[in-house]
């Protein structure tokens, strides 16, 4: 009991030691269930609420957040779930419309709402959420459309990823979406979104929205017939993702499975750390929001044989509500918006707006996890204790996959344990190469490294990692 | 190097023979986010409590089934109505995991249920194999009845008599012959034991009301239509006459009862409409429902009135009852409102009085269409606002297939916050702006439309389609007997037939003013 208590205390202290989260007060008396965040010039920050308003704040970067001031920029929008600032306007992804909202007379309030694109359907079902991205490398934005009731198709392009050009042309590029929670880019500029556990999704995961790709759920395939598009794949029920995608390469397997229950239950926002070290030692990596567990996960991606894959690590926790939108500012401030209306969260507040900053202290943590032909190469943020690295019992590896099926979710199946048959310490002492006895392609590998210690004798901040093995490199 | 998949699956599987599952940890992981670490969660948690929930009493199969295939729709738990979806967890949770969770839940938070074995879970899993439908509360309850006997007082030796007839107040049953007599072994009052009658019947229940303690009790009755309760031959409480259940008619009365057996007689009649009778007792030993159906929870969503600021307008973009899904509702200070369909470029609805209430969409998941909050709602358009008519006899397209290329351009707000909508129909550019006015104490919505550019040939605009329109006075059109509509700058044609319409040819450039005046 005593050990447990110490452990709990040291974990939460550790979090505050490395990353500090503060509440940004919202305008008094207003209910703003934060649904999207946009960073604006002059250190202004805009947030939208699920009730359809947009608010702009000054002071969100200041040391004293009690001085934050809000003004209402707009009201009456339909549950915006994506927003960015460009050329003097806020671009807002509403449920039924992608809109440019502009303050033309400079009074701080939008007075012109221009419909850029609304060429998709909505049936009136509450679950038909639409999430919008920031512009991609070509200046286009992407909208991803949740299925009707999260499993059906009752309006045009439900379950599709749509590319929208600045002049409002819409191109359906990606099919097979079920119930997204957010989307964003990795450092290479490729687009990823999170999909939630349910039909055709054994677990929640981070998926690569490869143009032309199929994300797993055939419910939205009806759009292809109606609009004369190439018919997306019809995967076989109760199969495995690996089996099906080898039959039809248009099926893009989840890049990183976020094992249901173990690392969350409802993944949301996607972004990558482009702060060049201002947000700690994980630059270039992807952060994923988690609504149910009120957390932020960290993802290290790599591309192997043309497909993305990688590892997810537990990262930040203890947010006040269910984490939905996030934005990372260039100065290393992570803005985190929360809501738990309709879907419970560990964080007890109905809504919240917070910021997290790196304290400058580097945690002893796995920095990267990459696959090799025979195992994994891990690097750590600080020099590790060689003896602990060389001890094969420092590492436990289990792996499993999920049934690829129409019914809701999947148990973990086809479980196995991999044996570490070789350990090689990297020359700088800050990493290790593990050789495994064998591979099971298509599986999530859960690596537990309780035995690994830093040169100063510290355990890893988070000793767990989950790596999704879609492909194995030749050598 | 790629090893063939699945080669080792079966040999390695046994390595993971289930270690003892930790129910508390599994509950924390899979359930606590919604149902709370303490089985209740935060205040006003939209997810039902598990602490002392009647749904966890008795057989564990009810809970196993709900977790296994999911539960959808309204459910009453501990006297409160909930309406969310419990996603199915059968595929995720092994028999061992689910058994551990339910064992934990049934023995925690004040619950006192027996242990649930993995074998029991496996048995239910087998029964439900292949089922993809979610359970509804009603179906689950029917399959695994919930004993109401978790409180006192209780009914005993309950019987019912059925009478046929149509009354507007409680009849003198002593002068009537019963059509049926039933024993009620569940000892609950249930109007659906009328043999399936939906109207024009009466019932009497008689039995013993057993109390554990002497003291003051409250009897609460809500009925559609009338009901009255006698305890020990004394009239205790009565719901009189005809009317639907709800706050207005529900009655509560305090009275004193001794310990032990008390004589109960409950009379009821239904004239027409949905039969319903709820009966609750509160006393020194807590509260208990003695009817199969329970109090309707009315207005479980708190009201969130949406009100325009003085001289301004408020916009609500959401799903509105009677309007099409892509609609923008605007409420003008002064008490006139409309819903503009951006998919069909016309006014779907106009109404007066209060604008909208955010309560439906802004609590829980926000399911369904919100009704306009005001009165005298008129649905103006069934079909599109614009279509080409080759001749004036051609029927207005009932649905949205006009083949016209239409585009909603957006809206701007004037200095008072009143919107101007802009859109195109082929080469025609349209601007419209509405505002509040009044004449002779009647509210008016004044809508100004400007046409520019080149419309397609024979383009017509419908102001009304599919509603009742009559014209008793030149140029004044009564719609649905609620508003009168006048147009200046154009002359609409009233066309009668199946669903009247009011249409006019589009002339460009031109401007016109349409005035909607509430009667």
- pLDDT of B177 higher than 50: yes
Nearest neighbour of B92 by CB, restricted to A76, A411, A441: A411
Position B40 pLDDT exceeds 80 = yes
Chain B residues with CB under 8 Å of A115 CB are 342, 407-410
CB contact A377 to B (< 8 Å): no
Name every residue whose Cβ is closer than 8 Å to that of residue B101 and which is 6 or more positions away in sequence.
B23, B26, B27, B30, B31, B67, B93
Residue ranges of the domains in chain A? 13-358, 366-469
Report the pLDDT value the prediction gives residue B79, as an integer from 0 to 100: 67
**pLDDT for position A25:** 97
CA distances (Å), origin A336, targets A66, A92, A258, A322, A339 = 17, 18, 20, 10, 10
Instruction: Give the 3-state secondary structure of B114-154.
Output: CCCCHHHHHHHHHHCCCCCCCEEHHHHHHHCCCCCCCCCCE
User: Would you state the structure tokens that stand for residue A398, as one six-digit string?
Assistant: 């289990």
Q: Backbone dihedral region of A2: left (phi > 0), alpha (psi from -120 to 50 degrees) or beta?
A: alpha
For domain A13-358, give the fold: Neuraminidase (2.120.10)
**Contact yes or no for B316 and A52 at CB 8 A:** yes
Q: Are B1 and A50 an interchain contact pair (Cβ–Cβ within 8 Å)? A: no
pLDDT at B150: 57
Cross-chain residue pair A126–B368, CB shorter than 8 Å: yes
Measure the N-to-C terminal CA separation of chain B; round to a whole number of Å: 82
- Which residue, among A302, A331, A326, has the nearest Cα to A316 in the 3D structure? A326
Contact check, Cβ <8 Å, B366/A343: no
Do A342 and B34 lie within an 8 Å CB cutoff? no
pLDDT at A100: 98
Residue A428 has pLDDT above 70, yes or no: yes
Question: Which pLDDT belongs to residue A70?
Answer: 98
- Mean pLDDT of chain B, nearest integer: 88
Per-residue model confidence (pLDDT) at position B3: 40
Tell whether the torsion through CA atoms of B314, B320, B323 and B326 is positive or negative: positive
Strand B71-72 to B135-136 pairing:
parallel
Would you call A112 and B30 a contact, using CB atoms and an 8 Å cutoff? no
Interface of A with B in 295-354 (CB under 8 A): 341-346, 348, 350
3-state secondary structure labels for all residues of B349-393: EEEECCCEECCCCCCCCCCCCECCCCEEEEECECCCCEEECCCCC
Do the chains contact at A114 and B89, CB–CB below 8 Å? no
Q: What is the pTM of this model?
A: 0.81
Query: Is the model's pLDDT at B9 over the cut of 50?
Result: no
| CA-based nearest residue in chain A for residue B96 | A411
Residue with tokens 């992807």: A286
The CATH number of the structural domain formed by A366-469 is 2.60.40.1220
Contact B354, B374 (CB under 8 A): yes
CB contact under 8 A, A242 and B5: yes
**Cβ neighbours around B353 below 10 Å, total:** 16
State the ipTM, two decimals: 0.93
Do B365 and A202 make contact, defined as CB atoms within 8 angstroms?
no
Nearest CA-CA partner of B157 in B130, B184, B137, B181:
B184
Contact B365 A342 (CB under 8 A): yes
Closest in B5, B34, B412 to A112, CB measured: B412
- Residues B126-150 have a mean pLDDT of 81
Closest residue, chain A, to B414 (C-alpha): A111
Nearest to A425, CA basis, from A464, A393, A392: A392
Q: How confident is the model at residue A447 (pLDDT cuts 50, 70, 90)?
A: very high
For residues B57-77, average pLDDT: 90
Q: Where are the alpha helices (DSSP H) in A280-373?
A: none
Taking only the tens place, the pLDDT of each residue in B447-503 is 999 999 999 999 999 999 989 999 989 999 999 999 999 999 999 999 987 678 999
pLDDT at A7: 39
- Report yes or no: A168 at the B interface, CB cutoff 8 Å: no
Percentage of chain B beyond pLDDT 90 is 59
Give CA separation, A421 vs A149, A398, A400, in Å.
Answer: 48, 14, 20
Nearest beta carbon to residue A124 from set B29, B363, B369: B369
Give percent above pLDDT 70 in chain B. 92
Of the partner residues B94, B410, B413, the one whose CB lies closest to the CB of residue A114: B410
Task: List CB contacts (< 8 A) between B328 and chain A.
Answer: 76
A62–chain B nearest CA distance, Å:
32
Cis peptide before A242 (omega within 30 of 0): no
| Chain B environment of A226 (Cβ under 8 Å) | none
Q: Inter-chain contact B5–A52, Cβ cutoff 8 Å? A: no
- Enumerate the residues of chain B whose CB falls inside 8 A of the CB of residue A441: 2-3, 5
Selected residue of B7, B11, B12, B430 to mutate for chain A interface (largest A Cβ count, 10 A): B12
Residues 121-160 in A contacting B (C-alpha not used; CB under 8 Å) = 121-124, 126-127, 155
Mean pLDDT across chain A, nearest whole number?
A: 95
CA distance A349 to A340: 8
| B139 pLDDT above the threshold of 90 | no
Instruction: Find residue B7's DSSP bridge partners.
Output: none
Q: Which residue has the tokens 């002893």?
A: A364
What the block records as the tokens of B55 is 């749904």
Could A416 and B412 be called an inter-chain contact, meaning their C-beta atoms sit closer than 8 Å?
no
Cβ pair B3:A414 closer than 8 A? no
* Mean pLDDT, residues B82-109: 91
Per-residue pLDDT, B249: 85
Residue B196: predicted pLDDT:
67
Mean pLDDT lowest for which of A230-234, B249-253, B515-519? B249-253
Average pLDDT rounded to a whole number, residues B232-251: 88
Q: Is A473 on the interface with B (CB under 8 A)?
A: no
Average pLDDT score over residue span A298-304: 98
Bridge partners of residue A327, in order along the sequence: A335
pLDDT of residue B7: 37
A29 touching chain B per CB within 8 A = no
Q: Is the pLDDT of residue A303 over 50?
A: yes
Determine contact: A474 vs chain B, CB below 8 A: yes
pLDDT in tens, A396-421: 999 999 999 998 899 899 999 999 99
Q: What is the pLDDT of residue B479?
A: 96
Using the Cβ of A196 and the Cβ atoms of chain B, whether some distance falls under 8 Å is answered with: no
Sheet containing B459-467, strands listed edge to edge, beginning at the edge strand earlier in sequence: B386-388, B459-467, B500-505, B493-495
Span A353-375, mean pLDDT?
A: 98
- A contacts of B45 (beta carbons < 8 Å): 344
pLDDT for residue B198: 77
**Residues β-bridged to residue A296:** A289, A316
Of A345 and A116, which is predicted with more confidence?
A116
Q: What are phi and psi of B120, to 5 degrees?
A: -65, -45
Strand, coil or helix: A362: coil
Q: Where are the alpha helices (DSSP H) in B290-363?
A: none
Alpha helices in B70-222 (DSSP H): 95-106, 118-127, 137-143
> Which residue in the set B2, B30, B414 is minimally distant from A439, CB to CB?
B2
pLDDT 10s digits, B399-419: 667 889 999 999 999 999 999
Cα B145–B148–B150 angle (5° rounding)? 125
Residue whose pair of structure tokens reads 């510290």 in the numeric block: A458
Give the model's confidence band at B10: pLDDT under 50 very low, under 70 low, under 90 confident, else very high. Answer: very low
B182 or B221: which carries more pLDDT confidence?
A: B221
At residue B349, the pLDDT reads 97
Q: What angle separates helix B61-69 from helix B118-127, to the nearest 10 degrees?
A: 60
pLDDT confidence of residue B211: 92
- Given this model, what pLDDT does residue B105 score? 95
- pLDDT attached to residue B183: 79
Give the per-residue pLDDT at B453: 98
Say how far apart CA A303 and CA A145 lie, in whole Å.
26
Shortest Cα distance, chain A CAs vs residue B446, angstroms: 21
């Amino acid at each position: 009991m005593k050990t447990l208590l110490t452990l709990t205390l040291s974990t939460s202290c550790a979090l505050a030691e490395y990353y500090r989260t503060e509440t940004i007060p919202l305008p008094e008396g207003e209910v703003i269930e934060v649904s999207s965040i946009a960073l604006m010039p002059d250190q202004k920050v805009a947030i939208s609420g699920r009730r359809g308003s947009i608010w702009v704040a000054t002071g969100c970067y200041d040391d004293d957040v009690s001085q934050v001031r809000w003004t209402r920029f707009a009201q009456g929008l339909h549950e915006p779930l994506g927003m960015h600032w460009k050329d003097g306007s806020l671009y807002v992804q509403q449920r039924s419309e992608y809109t440019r909202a502009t303050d033309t007379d400079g009074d701080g309030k939008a007075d012109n709402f221009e419909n850029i694109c609304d060429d998709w359907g909505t049936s009136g079902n509450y679950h038909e959420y639409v999430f919008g991205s920031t512009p991609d490398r070509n200046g286009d934005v992407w909208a991803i459309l949740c299925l009707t009731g999260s499993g059906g198709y009752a309006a045009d392009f439900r379950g599709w990823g749509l590319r929208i050009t600045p002049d409002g042309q819409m191109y359906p590029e990606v099919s097979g979406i079920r119930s997204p929670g957010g989307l964003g880019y990795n450092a290479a500029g490729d687009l990823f979104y999170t999909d939630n556990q349910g039909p055709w999704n054994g677990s929640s995961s981070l998926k690569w929205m490869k143009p032309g790709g199929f994300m797993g759920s055939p419910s939205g395939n009806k759009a292809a017939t109606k609009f004369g598009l190439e018919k997306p794949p019809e995967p076989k029920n109760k199969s495995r993702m690996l089996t099906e995608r080898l039959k039809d390469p248009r099926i893009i397997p989840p890049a990183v499975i976020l094992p249901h229950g173990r690392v969350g239950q409802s993944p949301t926002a996607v972004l990558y750390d482009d702060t060049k070290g201002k947000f700690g030692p994980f630059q270039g990596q992807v952060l994923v929001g988690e609504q149910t567990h009120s957390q932020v996960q960290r993802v290290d991606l790599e591309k192997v044989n043309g497909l993305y894959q990688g590892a997810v690590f537990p990262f930040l926790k203890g947010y006040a509500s269910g984490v939905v939108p996030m934005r990372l500012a260039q100065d290393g401030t992570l803005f985190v918006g929360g809501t738990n209306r309709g879907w419970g969260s560990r964080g007890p507040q109905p809504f919240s707006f917070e910021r997290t900053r790196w304290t400058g202290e580097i945690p002893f943590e796995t920095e990267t996890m990459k696959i090799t032909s025979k195992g994994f190469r891990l690097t750590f943020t600080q020099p590790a204790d060689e003896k602990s690295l060389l001890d094969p019992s420092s590492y436990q590896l289990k792996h499993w996959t999920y049934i690829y099926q129409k019914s809701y979710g999947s148990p973990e199946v086809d479980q196995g344990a991999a044996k570490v048959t070789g350990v090689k310490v990297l020359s700088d002492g800050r990493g290790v190469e593990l050789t495994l006895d064998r591979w099971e392609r298509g599986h999530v590998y859960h690596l537990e490294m309780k035995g690994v210690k830093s040169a100063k004798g510290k355990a890893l901040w988070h000793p767990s990692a989950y790596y999704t093995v879609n492909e194995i490199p030749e050598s | 190097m790629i090893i063939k998949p699945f080669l080792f699956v079966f040999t390695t599987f046994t390595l993971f023979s289930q270690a003892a599952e930790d129910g508390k940890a599994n509950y924390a992981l899979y359930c606590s986010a919604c149902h709370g670490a303490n089985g209740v969660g935060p205040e006003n948690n939209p997810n039902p409590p598990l602490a002392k929930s009647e749904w966890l009493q008795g057989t564990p199969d009810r809970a196993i089934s709900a977790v296994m295939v999911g539960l959808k729709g309204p459910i009453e738990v501990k006297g409160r109505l909930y309406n969310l979806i419990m996603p199915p967890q059968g595929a995720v949770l092994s028999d061992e995991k689910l058994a551990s969770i339910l064992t934990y839940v049934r023995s925690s938070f004040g619950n006192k249920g027996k242990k649930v074995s993995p074998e029991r879970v496996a048995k239910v899993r087998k029964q439900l194999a292949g089922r993809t439908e979610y359970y509804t509360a009603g179906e689950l309850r029917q399959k695994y009845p919930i004993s109401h006997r978790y409180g006192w007082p209780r009914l005993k030796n309950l019987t019912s008599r059925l009478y046929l007839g149509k009354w507007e107040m409680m009849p003198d049953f002593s002068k009537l012959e019963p059509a049926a007599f039933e024993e009620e072994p569940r000892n609950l009052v249930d109007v659906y034991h009328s043999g399936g009658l939906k109207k024009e019947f009466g019932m009497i229940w008689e039995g013993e009301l057993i109390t554990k303690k002497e003291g003051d009790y409250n009897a609460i009755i809500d009925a559609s239509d009338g009901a009255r309760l006698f305890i020990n031959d004394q009239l205790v409480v009565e719901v009189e006459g005809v009317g639907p259940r709800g706050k207005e008619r529900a009655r509560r009365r305090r009275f004193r009862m001794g310990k032990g057996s008390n004589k109960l007689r409950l009379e009821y009649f239904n004239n027409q409409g949905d039969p319903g009778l709820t009966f609750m007792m509160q006393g020194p030993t807590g509260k208990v429902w003695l009817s199969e159906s329970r109090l309707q929870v009315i207005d479980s969503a708190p009201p969130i009135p949406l009100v325009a600021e003085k001289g301004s307008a408020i916009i609500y973009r959401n799903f509105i009852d009677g309007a099409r899904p892509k609609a923008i509702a605007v409420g003008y200070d002064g008490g006139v409102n409309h819903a503009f369909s951006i998919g069909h470029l016309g006014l779907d609805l106009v109404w007066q009085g209060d604008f909208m209430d955010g309560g439906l969409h802004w609590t829980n998941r926000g399911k369904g269409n919100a009704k306009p909050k005001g009165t005298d709602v008129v649905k103006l358009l069934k079909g599109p606002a614009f279509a080409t008519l080759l001749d004036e006899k051609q029927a207005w397209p009932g649905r949205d297939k006009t083949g016209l290329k239409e585009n909603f351009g957006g809206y701007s707000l004037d200095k008072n916050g009143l919107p101007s909508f802009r859109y195109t129909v082929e080469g025609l550019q349209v601007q419209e702006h509405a505002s509040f006015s009044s004449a002779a104490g009647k509210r008016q919505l004044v809508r100004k439309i400007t046409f520019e550019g080149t419309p397609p040939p024979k383009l017509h605009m419908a102001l009304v389609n599919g509603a009742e329109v009559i014209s008793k006075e030149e140029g004044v059109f009564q719609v649905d007997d609620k508003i009168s509509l006048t147009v200046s700058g154009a002359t609409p044609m009233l066309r009668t037939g199946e669903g009247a319409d009011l249409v006019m040819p589009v002339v460009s450039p031109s401007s016109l003013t349409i005035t909607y005046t509430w009667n």
